Amino acid sequence: MTRECDDPKGSWWRSYLAGNVPRALEPIGGRLRVADLFCGSGGLANGASQLCAELGVSPVFDFIADQDEEATRVFAGNHPTRRRFTSSVQKLVDYTVSRSGQGAKFSYRPELLDEDLAADLQGIDLVLAGPPCQGHSSLNNRTRRADPRNDLYLTVPAFAVAVGAEMCIIENVPLVLKDEDRVVETAKQIFESEGYSVTAGTLSASDVGWPQTRTRHFLVARKGHAPTPLDQVRSTLGDRGRSLWWAIGDLEDAVGDAVVRQLTQLSDANRARIDWLFDNDQYDLALPERPDCHRNGTTYTAVYGRLRKHLPAPTITTGFMSPGRGRFTHPTRRRTLTPQEAARLQGFPDTYRFVSDPSNPPGRGQLSKWIGDAVPMPLGYAAALSAFGGGLSGV
């Protein structure tokens, strides 16, 4: 086993997972005003907040928005938040884009529809956004590349311009680049027409040393200073991908009644499939053991699979508590991942509170969505490092 002294970056990440807040050696001081659109339970915010803590800056989320009201409560319970909005982000801003792709620009200056909100949010330092990605997902075989949800991507530059934000970070799945309306190129052109500099590209969590292979596309825009190119950020943070066991090895038997340590109640068929993997010392389920729809072959070979201790985890999705939704069977125990294990792999510290009302704890579906849809902290951290690379002029 690698000693902590031989892995300083691993010690840094592990300290974060334990809930320790770093102390800046030369704190910048001041507040960073942030708006987070499509905020979920706060995954992207975790990365930006961690970098702020290391710089000695206090992030304040002046505005967060998500249609999942309970997710916004979880967010606000973990990050200092002033205002929550729980309706469609499209209801916030009035804008029209004249073209798509090259030459795209706003037909008129975007405006927030609520005058009081517009005045309150003017001069926001940073806009974070993770617009719904299901329209771009490879699992959405029917509508991807032509899904109306993809247009939500363009509400983000509209909001950022309307509030005069200095910086903006938009994350999505890499397949967003295949959108038939070219929303990424359109957003880039819009930002540049408004005086922002832009960098964009994909980042993998394992490329920056995190024990998950999840890859996301980021667009980072900044006015006044050019953001640090994402390739340069990747090189700066570049590190070996740590193993699944590095992240969750100490949780091997940490199961129980706590919301985040609950076990999935397996069907008899799925329990038999997990038993087969362990009884035969296998990591992929044989075709005869699979459901009838798989027995003539399947391209989803990781489904019903067992995780490997010495490798990074595959992408954690909302299906992490079901063996039939991916490679989510624990490597040493005959069960699937617990919410706490999945949360660790997504970069949520153990101190993160997913229960906003103890008398009404979240259900399995809510918890799996909040965790599985999140952006791993190191990816948000990397994107924030790109945005902050030119210094923080507004704090």
Please name the residue that has the structure tokens 């200073």. Answer: 225
Which of 313, 302, 320 lies closest to 368 in space, CA to CA?
320
| Inter-CA distances, 300 with 109, 138, 145, 176, 304, Å | 46, 12, 21, 21, 9
Enumerate domains of the chain plus CATH numbers.
18-241+375-388 (3.40.50.150), 244-372 (3.90.120.10)
Reported confidence tier of residue 58, pLDDT bands at 50, 70, 90? very high
Which of 323, 341, 324, 326 lies closest to 245 in space, CA to CA?
341
Res 48 pLDDT > 60: yes
Q: Tens digit of pLDDT for each residue in 189-240?
A: 999 999 999 999 999 999 999 999 999 999 999 998 999 999 999 999 987 7
- Spatial distance between the Cα atoms of 351 and 223, rounded to a whole number of angstroms: 35
pLDDT reported for residue 143? 36
Res 391 pLDDT > 90: no
Q: Tens digit of pLDDT for each residue in 234-272?
A: 999 987 779 999 999 999 999 988 999 999 999 999 999
Catalytic residue ranges: 133
Res 139 pLDDT > 60: no
Q: Tens digit of pLDDT for each residue in 303-317?
A: 999 999 999 999 999
Give backbone dihedrals phi and psi of 296, rounded to 5 degrees, phi first. -95, 10
- Spatial distance between the Cα atoms of 261 and 335, rounded to a whole number of angstroms: 12
- Spatial distance between the Cα atoms of 156 and 325, rounded to a whole number of angstroms: 31
| Inter-CA distances, 263 with 123, 226, 260, 273, 376, Å | 46, 47, 9, 17, 22
- What stretch of H or E contains 273? helix 268-279
- Spatial distance between the Cα atoms of 130 and 133, rounded to a whole number of angstroms: 8
